[in-house]
Structure 1
Amino acid sequence: MKYTQKRMDQAAIGVSMLCIAHCIFLPLLLVLIPSIGLGFLADEAVHQYLVCGALVISFVALSIGCKRHRAWHVLIVGLTGLSCLVFAVVFGHDVLGEMMERVVTLIGSGLIIACHIRNYRLCAKVPCT
């Protein structure tokens, strides 16, 4: 169980970092994308797939971790970050505009990364039963 939770935390951090990279570097790479055959990265569906992955992985990892260490504030921070990501995907362009969509995505991803680091550290302190 401890190994699964550790890998899930690492995967959630990785997916959140991919969201950040997609958000920051995509505008810089838009010039290069057609010439190197990565046009699919400009599609909004990539952002949606990343958020779906983050939702599933984060929820499982945080649920496992919170059952072990009982620090439920970690789950609350994680759910707040996930809510930011979902809000940015669903309402981003229409409600917030392009720049604020990126800001909300970065905030959400940062919260998810922070809570998974905290979750991992708290789980490492709890002895296995």
Structure 2
Amino acid sequence: MSPIAIPTKRLDRLAIGLSGLCLVHCLATSVLLAVLASAGSALGAPWIHEVGLILAMAMGMIALGKGIFEHGYTMPSAVGGLGLGVMAGALTLPHNGTEAVFTMLGVGILALGHRLNHIAGE
């Protein structure tokens, strides 16, 4: 089954779940950094954030893009795009806690965009 054949509502639910996993990852990494420096540094590796952003961007392009064609509203995609931009910008910040805060903010905005997309499709 191609990604295009998956209903937009299902893609939005998957994307919201991915956002939740990202949020849990950020919180767990922050706690682990405070408790176990070696485990925290493994979970805080830059490639994990880059892969996560790539997954979020792919899911966003598919789900939010399909939503525009299905229901005609562009606001969910604009909100989701803002969240992705905040997440991408967070990758450029130092790993002193600032990156995690802005990543979580971007994840929340992206999840809101997917939620708006889900509501618009009803």
TM-score, normalized by length of structure 1? 0.79
- Where do 5+ consecutive residues of structure 2 fail to align? none
Partner of 1:127: none
Please provide the CA RMSD for this pair: 2.3
Aligned to 1:92: 93
Which residue does 1:120 correspond to in 2?
Answer: 118
Match of 2:52?
Answer: 50
Q: Percent identity?
A: 29
> Matches of 2:30 and 2:74 in 1, distance apart?
37
SS at match of 2:85: helix
Q: Which has the larger radius of gyration?
A: 1
Query: For 2:103 and 2:53, how far apart are their aligned partners in 1?
Result: 10
Residues in 2 aligned to 1:29 and 1:99: alpha-carbon distance in whole angstroms = 12
Q: Which runs of 4+ in 1 moved over 6 A?
A: none
Deviates more, 1:54-63 or 1:24-33: 24-33
Counterpart of 2:83 in structure 1 is: 81
SS at match of 1:98: coil
CA separation in 2, counterparts of 1:44 and 1:63?
28
Write the mapping of 1:16-27 to structure 2, written as runs, cut at 5 A. Answer: 16-27=19-30
The 1-side partners of 2:30 and 2:106 are apart by: 19
Which one has the bigger helix percentage? Answer: 1
Contact 1:19/1:47 (8 A) holds in 2: no
**More divergent stretch after superposition (74-83 vs 7-16):** 7-16
1-structure distance, mates of 2:10, 2:37: 32
Shift of 1:39: 6.9
Q: How far apart are 1:111 and its partner, in Å?
A: 0.7
Unaligned runs of 5+ in 1: 125-129
Give the structure 1 partner of residue 106 of structure 2: 108
Alpha-carbon distance, 1:25 to partner: 1.5
